[in-house]
Structure 1
Amino acid sequence: MTTILVTGGTGTLGRLVTERLRADGHEVRVLSRHAQPYAVDLREGGSGLDAAVEGVDAIVHCATTPRGGDERAAAQVVAAARRAAVPHLIYISIVGVDAVPMGYYKTKLAVEKLIEESGLGWTILRTTQFHDLVAQFLGGLAKLPVLLLPAGVSDQPVETAEVAARLAELAAGPPAGRVTDMGGPEVRSFRSLAAAHLRATGKRRPLLDVRLPGKTYRAFREGHHLTPGHATGKGTYEDFLKARFGNAR
């Protein structure tokens, strides 16, 4: 039986990866700061991490936080994987990390390079933003009386469960290097996504497009975070909203 460790295994993506791997018949170890018996703070590493990786056939590294520490956490995972001679390390990244000069994206790119230079067998999958993140973003904006949107910016949200299925597939196979990007089925303006979100949540807000300064906004406006040529996802944002709120139309 194949044994696979999922870091961040209680998070939005990691939980679904864990479920998919177990459904496919794999033995799965779940690592997070509070998940026993592999409760580990990856920024610290230590013997708990060594115990978690010992004897596994692959590691799916989903643990991440925009609050910082991803590079240190990845370095700890790589070091432990080397010590245990783990044959395969799979990493989930984001489309555009090499073109969008945002801090979190720069960190994801640095982790990619760390893994590529690790000496381990590795696979990296870049995807577009998850539906959950788009909903969180728009839900936050909708708390204001006017919903302010980044003018000229589109997105290509993808269903988290579909990404989880792809990661599970990659984890069950041999190291594949940088695999083809994965995007959602539609490139959508933020205005259309916001309108769908408001309908689903039963809110009424005027929409106002706002032009923003800076290189990061320009990179998003130019679509460097999109992959329209790899729109392999099936679930639309409306499908997600209907499942989440029940009254999307």
Structure 2
Amino acid sequence: MTSPILLTGGTGTLGRLVVPLLRDAGRELRVLSRQRHEPGDGIEYVTGDLLKGEGIAPAVDGAEIILHLAGGPKGDDEATRNLMRVASGSGVRHVVLISVIGSDRVPLGYFRSQLGAERAVAESGLPWTTLRAAQFHDIVLTMMEKMTKLPVIPVPGGLRLQPVDPREVAARLVELTLDKPAGLVPDLAGPTVYGMADLSRGYLRARGKRRLMMPVRMPGKAGRAYRAGENLSLDGATVGKRTWEDFLAERVRPGR
């Protein structure tokens, strides 16, 4: 009998896509969640909180592989250190981490937190694999929904994104999880680089809306980093197939 794969963030956007793929591969899963869930369909749930350091020991116990997807707007570095502190004294043989492209180049708190999580895994003494991915289509959609509620859409000059479909990220993570530890693997990005105006126009067309756009300048070090494309992966990345337009055609309909 194989040991269960411990999955953090298993109930999130990415986790919900990963779970059926791992189950289809015949793997038993143990999901660490802040909320209580009933077990079923080869999935065991352990209630805990990585940031508070609660429930980690029973979640890790007996697992040889950890797929660490849990994340939030802040605190991912501390949560990952808590997880690695327990995992390093167990029988874990492979830790797989999802991170973000530009974690080592964009001077913003979220990116620094992601880099801290990467370092916690790499310095744990355990064999590891880290995949940096671009922003998911779903995240960009949420951003567009909020921005287009404004009468005038601000368009940060020089800000470009390379959005990727989360289903492609999930499939890649499952491949990496079931393979040998590989360290930092090539980034995974979408097939097209878009300026913010292009993303906004695409969303507006899909919704049948119109809005004025106003260019704005991003100040400081973060602005310089984005204008330099530090959040992009233009060379050597694995490139997904589904475009922003494909995603919009599937998810967005003309409406209010």
Query: Could you say which TM-score interval applies, normalised by the shorter chain?
Result: over 0.9
Q: Following TM superposition, by how much is the alpha carbon of 1:2 offset from its aligned partner in structure 2, in angstroms?
A: 5.3
Q: Identify which of 211, 214, 220 aligns with 1:214.
A: 220
The alignment status of 1:58 with 2:65, answered yes or no, reads yes
* Contact map agreement 1:18 1:30 (CA 8 A) in 2: no
The alignment status of 1:38 with 2:43, answered yes or no, reads no
Aligned to 2:138: 132
Aligned to 2:205: 199
Q: Following TM superposition, by how much is the alpha carbon of 1:236 offset from its aligned partner in structure 2, in angstroms?
A: 0.4
* Contact map agreement 2:103 2:115 (CA 8 A) in 1: yes
Q: Distance in 2 between matches of 1:18 and 1:240?
A: 21
Q: Following TM superposition, by how much is the alpha carbon of 1:158 offset from its aligned partner in structure 2, in angstroms?
A: 0.2
* Contact map agreement 1:50 1:84 (CA 8 A) in 2: no
The alignment status of 1:177 with 2:183, answered yes or no, reads yes
Q: Which amino acid aligns with 2:219?
A: P
Counting matched residue pairs gives: 246
The alignment status of 1:25 with 2:33, answered yes or no, reads no
Provide, for residues 200-219 of structure 1, a one-character-per-residue CA deviation record: whole Å limited to 9, x for no partner: 12221112221121110111
Gaps of at least 5 residues in structure 2 are 38-44
Question: Alignment RMSD, CA only?
Answer: 1.5
TM-score (norm 1): 0.94
Aligned to 1:232: 239
Q: Distance in 1 between matches of 2:71 and 2:149?
A: 26
The alignment status of 1:93 with 2:99, answered yes or no, reads yes
CA gap of 1:199–1:231, structure 2 versus 1, over 3 A, is: farther
The alignment status of 1:14 with 2:15, answered yes or no, reads yes
Gaps of at least 5 residues in structure 1 are none
User: Where does structure 1 differ by over 6 angstroms across 4 or more consecutive aligned residues?
Assistant: none
SS in 2 for 1:38: strand
Provide, for residues 105-162 of structure 1, a one-character-per-residue CA deviation record: whole Å limited to 9, x for no partner: 0111111111111100111111111111111111111110011111122110000010
Q: Identify which of 36, 49, 73 aligns with 2:79.
A: 73
Give the fraction of aligned pairs with identical amino acids, expressed as a percent: 46
